Structure formats: C-alpha cells, structure tokens
A and B are shown apart, each in its own frame.
Chain A
Amino acid sequence: MIELSDICRTFTVGGQEVRAMDHVSLTIGAGEYLSIMGPSGSGKSTLLNIIGLLDTPNSGTYLLDGRDVTSLADEQLAATRSRKIGFIFQFFHLIPRLSAAQNIELPLMLAGVPLRQRRQRSAVLIDSFGLGNRRHHRPDELSGGQRQRVAIARAVINQPAVLLADEPTGNLDRSSGAEIIDLLEGLNRAGQTLVIVTHDPEIGERARRRVRVVDGRLASDSGG
C-alpha cells in the first residue's frame, strides 16, 4: 500500500547539506502495525512526514495505493492527505478555541462535508472513544489523555489508509500513555494501518514490525 523506493531528502542547515533520508526503501502493507525507532536526529520524523505527504523527497519514488504521489501539486497533496492520511502528534495540536467535537470534525469541515454528516460521524467516534460527556469542552478543559483521544478521533474520522503517530505518548503520563496505545492497537486490530514513531523502546517493541532508522538509513527491519 505504501511503497517508498530510494527516497533521499537533504536539508541545508547553515550552508551545510544534511542528508536526513539516504536512499530509503520501505514497503508497508495494509493493516500493518509498524514502529519506527531510532535516536533523535536519525531521520525518523522526516520518514513519517514523507509518508504523510507533509514533506517531499528530493529523489526517489513514493507510491501510495499504487499511485505515484512523489510530484503532486499542492492542491492534490492536500486532497490526498485529507483522504488517506491521519496524523497524531506528540503535542496533540488541537485548536484551542474549538470544542472537542469541532476539533474532531476539522478534516471533514476542510473537505466541505455538510455539518449534519460531520455531526453524525464525530458522534460515533466520541462515544466509542469514551468522550461522550466532553464533546462541547474546549481542549484546555480536557486532560492530556482526553486531548490525545480527541486528536486520534480527528485523525481517523476520514477513515485514512494509514494512521501516522509521532511520539503519541511523549507528552502523557504512563497510565494515559498506556490507554492511548491500547486505543491505537484496538484500531489496528480493526484493520487500521498504523505507523508509530517513538524513541521509547517499551512502546516500539509492541509493534509487530519494527524498523530502526540511524543516520537517515534503515538500520534494521524486523519484517516486511
């Protein structure tokens, strides 16, 4: 479903070229549960951003669901992100002035889905994620765990092909973190492709397939 081949990504930092992705090839199938680990600065976030179409490689090809998305224009990239990618961030990235429900519905709103349909789809997620009595609360009225659950609901509301989580527990205490991992793994069991970037080995080891990135290269891959 995701086929990266020979991906290179270089940044220019202070006049110096830094190779963040160095000829990386990676194939992820539908329904996989994959963790990307590695020391900071190894390029694991860059890999995630390239998969999530937020970043474009300098060379190499990226096929998403069989379609070459390497050189799409901004408009098409945005549309593809909207339909196929769900992002979860360490710092939640909820919009503070919107309610939990409005935050969850944000991708649908941007895609132009009518309000009634949005309400229906967010209501299902709000209930199944245990946020029933929190739907009208603002993010600052929610606990860390609740905020991340809102963010996950937002990521999956458009039924994306792949769910990309960048240190999803990095800003949570142990028990909330465990709940979030349970939630994500539950989604994966229901068929959701899941990619988690983490430097926490305890979380990374839980994934069925583990990829290790060092200096912009794939140092190890437990399967696939």
Chain B
Amino acid sequence: MGTRDQLQFIVSSIRAKRLQSFLTGLGIAVGIAAVILLTSMGEGLQRFVVAEFTQFGSNLIAVNPGKVTTMGTTLGILGSERLLTLDDCEALRHLPQAEAVVPMVQGNVEVKAEGRTRRITLYGVGAEMDRAFRMQVGSGRFLPPDDPRLARPFVVLGDKVAHELFPNDNPLGRRMQIGNQPARVLGVMEHKGQVLGFDMDDTVYIPAVRALDLFDREGLMEIDVLYRDGHEASEVVAAIKRILVNRHGQEDFTITTQQQMLDVLGSVLSMLTVAVGALGGISLLVGSVGIFTIMTIAVRERTAEIGLLRAVGASRQQILLLFLLEGTVLAGLGGTAGLAVGFSLASLIHALVPLLPVHTPWSFVIFAELLSMLIGIIAGIIPARQAARLDPVEALRSE
C-alpha cells in the first residue's frame, strides 16, 4: 500500500469525524502553542540578557579585592589582606595574554561647568577602557596613556552629560570642575543608552589615580583584564592569580570571568525555560490522552471496517500501521496548528511590547512538531495494536 494512499485513507477518516478530530487536535495544539510561546519568551529573554553582558566583549576577566570565604563575607576590612592598587594593575599589564588592563573606581560626584551643576556617576579608569569595554568615542579622544600614577587631569564625558553641561557649544578643550578637582574635557563618548538599568551616557571618565584622590581611597574597586583571542580563560585566570599571589603573599582577591557570569545567568534562565517547557509538556500529556481516547473509540467504531480490510487482503501489520499513522497525522496536524498559534502569539506580544524580547529558534519549532508526532505514535500504539489483533471473522460480524 503506497504512502500516498495511506495518507489519503487516513485523511478521509479524519475528515469523516471532523469535530472529534478537531477537539483532539486542539489538545495537542494548546500544548504545542504553550511550549512555543513560553520557550520563545524564555529564549528571547536569555538572548537579551546575554547581549547586554557580552556587548562589553566576552574576553573580560574581573579582579575584585577580597576573597569570598565560606563565611560568605569578605575579609576586606578585618583581615590582613592588601588592597588592589594601581601597582597591581601595572604588574598585570606584563601578562603576555593581556590586551588591556583597566583599573576601576566608581562613585558619585558633583560636576560643574559654565555655572551648571550636575550629580553623576564617575568612573576612574585607565586609558584602555574604551577598548576593553568596546565603547566608542564620539568626538575628541579617550584618556591618554599617561603614567597611571601621574595621569593628567583630563575628563571624558558621557553623551548626556556633554549635552547637559555644554548645551550650546563644543565641550572639547573646555575646563570643568569635578568634585574639588579641575579637569579639561578631552573627549565625548558616543551615545550608548542603558545597560542593565545603568545610564551609560550620564557618566564621566577620569584617570583612576585622580578618582582615588577624589574619593580618598587607597585601593581600586576592580581591575578588568581583556585577554587576547585564542587564549583560554582558565589559563589567563591562573596567570593573574600567580602574579597577584606573588605580590600579596596570599589569595586575597576574587577573579570572575565573563563566562562565569554568563553561566550563572544562563543556568537561571535555562531553568526558567525548562520550567515553562514542562508546563507545556503537561498540556501535551493531556493532548496525548485525547489521541489515545479518540483512537480507542475509532477502533471500536470501525471494527467492521477493520474486518473488511482484512477480508480484502490487509495484513495485521497494515492495519497497525494505518491506525498508528492516523494518530500521528492527527497529532501532527494539531502540532502544526499549535505552532501557528504559538508563533502568532509570540509575534503579537513582540509587536505590542517591543521591550519584551521574543525569539523562536527553528530548532524549537522542529522539535515541537516532532514531539507532537511522537506523542501521536505513542498514544496510538495501544489502540492500533487492538485494531491489528482483532479476529477478522468477529470483526465482520460486529455491524
């Protein structure tokens, strides 16, 4: 019996009981729609967060002062540990794998220019920060590669700060007051927007040594190491550790790779995806019970037909295959409808709430369709075997 004939035969029987078939397919469709919609949203969210993080590049390693112990607190104040200093930063610069090493101090500060005052976030950084974090200078240039201990009092403004403080003229070369220090504007960053809720444009950047002075700090908050492509993160981490332990005499710092941060986020988000997927799975289970029920009823209702098919030359295996395929086609049709609905809903949500990222990977679509057909096969096995096992003489008598 040809495949086309089989399908035609099956479709004729599915069409003969339209309402039942529709309701059964609906069970699967709802499940598939839920799976597709929810995983699309989960996947979209994951991509959104990952994109937010990796826009700084994924070859970043952060070194923070203090070691998180099993007590869960840093020994920073009490312990004998040393601070992360600009000297540490310079030492790390000798790492062959390091492309850029950026000291980091962050704080709030009042800035003044042309009689205007604004409170903004200040980053005390190194000259390589723009490269390490893949940020673009809009006009002028970034901080120069001065001796980090004697860096000149330059400032680079965020896009928004520049517009607020110098609404009418070009800020390049202008003098301004940062806290109690004078500084000259060297550059303006390109518009960047918010990253994870922080407004990157309402920010100024000055040399780290000036920021330490400004906030009256001894140590840096963080050192970021950008390593070259082609090196393993673990290898760079080990090298950093070796240098710093050598300098400090103990491991009184914490190293975090970009990958570790992403992994933590990723695991949280994939758990979310799995959880919503499981919810959809439950509705698919309900759908499979529907397939099982309708196929069992079909075998009972069509007993005489099964007898007839046997009488005119169908083997048990052909009967088995026909009923198995019928369940599969039914589930597959339901799955396709579910895909369409889930996909439309996802697109609709994306259109209505552009902030909520929605992404449907093709692999999910194919997986969902295969899953629905698999459900059809599994749910159809028992009824199909019942059909195949019928005694043709008995079956023919059942009209």
Contacts and interface: CB of A to CB of B under 8 A. Distances in A.
Interface of A: 49, 52, 54-55, 74-75, 77-79, 81-83, 85, 87, 89, 91, 93, 95-98, 106-107, 109-112, 114-115, 154-155, 158
A89 B312 CA distance: 12
Interface residues of B, number: 26
A158 B308 CA distance: 15
A81 B399 contact: no
Contacts of A96: 16
A74 B5 CA distance: 22
Interface stretch (B40-48, B161-169, B289-297, B315-323): B315-323
8 contacts: A81-B311, A82-B312, A93-B396, A93-B399, A97-B12, A98-B12, A107-B313, A110-B309
Contacts of A154: 312
Interface in B5-50: 5, 9, 12-13, 15-16
Nearest to A114: B2
B89 to A, nearest CB: 79
A169 B44 CA distance: 69
Contacts of A114: 2
Interface in B314-337: 314-318
Interface of B: 1-2, 5, 9, 12-13, 15-16, 304-305, 307-318, 392-393, 396, 399
B312 A75 contact: no
Contacts of A95: 305, 308
Given A78-B318, A79-B313, A98-B12, A111 B396 contact: no
Contacts of B314: 78, 110
A79 to B, nearest CB: 7
Contacts of B393: 49, 54-55
Contacts of A98: 12
Contacts of A107: 312-313
Contacts of A89: 308, 396
Contacts of B15: 97
Contacts of A75: 315, 317
Which among A82, A97, A155, A158 has the greatest number of chain B C-beta atoms within 10 A?
A97
